[in-house]
A and B are shown apart, each in its own frame.
Chain A
Amino acid sequence: DQQVKQNSPSLSVQEGRISILNCDYTNSMFDYFLWYKKYPAEGPTFLISISSIKDKNEDGRFTVFLNKSAKHLSLHIVPSQPGDSAVYFCAASGYGGATNKLIFGTGTLLAVQP
């Protein structure tokens, strides 16, 4: 049972345009959501997060939006750059105690075309 879902395995965007990556979750007990970025042959790196008490968090070109009623979050990258090409994982935490256990989605491969 996938508690965190990324239904788009891949996304292709032109350089300079907006990239929108989507994530859905099923467990209403999640109270923190994160996005990680992963390049080939490297470990995932933290990108941006949002607490469930907020609906938006912005960091430079990256903005995460949270819609709790729809159990949906999205990552916006504006403007997209070729260096943003990577796999993006959505993750959620906060259930089952306070041990920083993250549940990850399956990932979306973003390709930014020059």
Chain B
Amino acid sequence: DAGITQSPRHKVTETGTPVTLRCHQTENHRYMYWYRQDPGHGLRLIHYSYGVKDTDKGEVSDGYSVSRSKTEDFLLTLESATSSQTSVYFCAISESTDLYANTGELFFGEGSRLTVL
């Protein structure tokens, strides 16, 4: 068990409202990620973090922002939700501690299902 908790697990919201998804880890790992899963697209990287206050964009970052003020928490914010952001969002962590030990093995949370009406 990699100790990843996502909240909320389910959320229904309306277009134009802000939404924040939280990812909490108990393992003190450096690297954290947010992915979204959609039919026909697989899993796509939204943003990732390589340390406190260190974040960068992934493949589909438009409309999303992230923050990491503590090692254990990685927040994903939709400033103004749109129907195209209806998806299942997965947080993931990497146990890698070496910047160049790039095995790519990630541990995923159970997902947060977001519906934007």
Query: What total of A-B pairs shows CB separation below 8 Å?
Result: 77
Q: Check A102 against B106 for contact (C-beta < 8 Å).
A: yes
Binds B, one of A12-20, A54-62, A78-86, A92-100: A92-100
Chain B interface residue number, banded: 20 to 34
The prevalent SS among residues of A at the interface is loop
- Measured between beta carbons, the chain B residues less than 8 angstroms from A71 are none
Question: Using a CB-CB cutoff of 8 Å, which residues 89-117 of chain B contact chain A?
Answer: 90, 92, 94, 96, 99-111
Question: Using a CB-CB cutoff of 8 Å, which residues 22-60 of chain A contact chain B?
Answer: 31-32, 34, 41-46, 49
A106 within 8 A of B: yes
Distance A92 CA – B66 CA, assembled complex (angstroms) = 24
A110 within 8 A of B: no
A73 within 8 A of B: no
Q: Check B104 against A91 for contact (C-beta < 8 Å).
A: yes
- Closest Cβ of chain A to B88, distance in Å, is 9
Q: Check B104 against A45 for contact (C-beta < 8 Å).
A: no
- Measured between beta carbons, the chain B residues less than 8 angstroms from A45 are 108
Distance A92 CA – B44 CA, assembled complex (angstroms) = 12
Distance A89 CA – B56 CA, assembled complex (angstroms) = 24
- Measured between beta carbons, the chain B residues less than 8 angstroms from A104 are 35, 42-44
- Measured between beta carbons, the chain A residues less than 8 angstroms from B74 are none
Distance A105 CA – B92 CA, assembled complex (angstroms) = 17
* 30 residue pairs bridging A and B, Cβ less than 8 Å apart: A6-B42, A32-B103, A41-B110, A42-B111, A43-B4, A43-B110, A43-B111, A44-B43, A46-B107, A89-B43, A92-B104, A93-B103, A93-B104, A98-B101, A98-B102, A99-B31, A99-B50, A99-B99, A100-B31, A100-B33, A100-B96, A100-B104, A100-B106, A101-B33, A101-B45, A102-B45, A102-B104, A104-B44, A106-B40, A106-B41
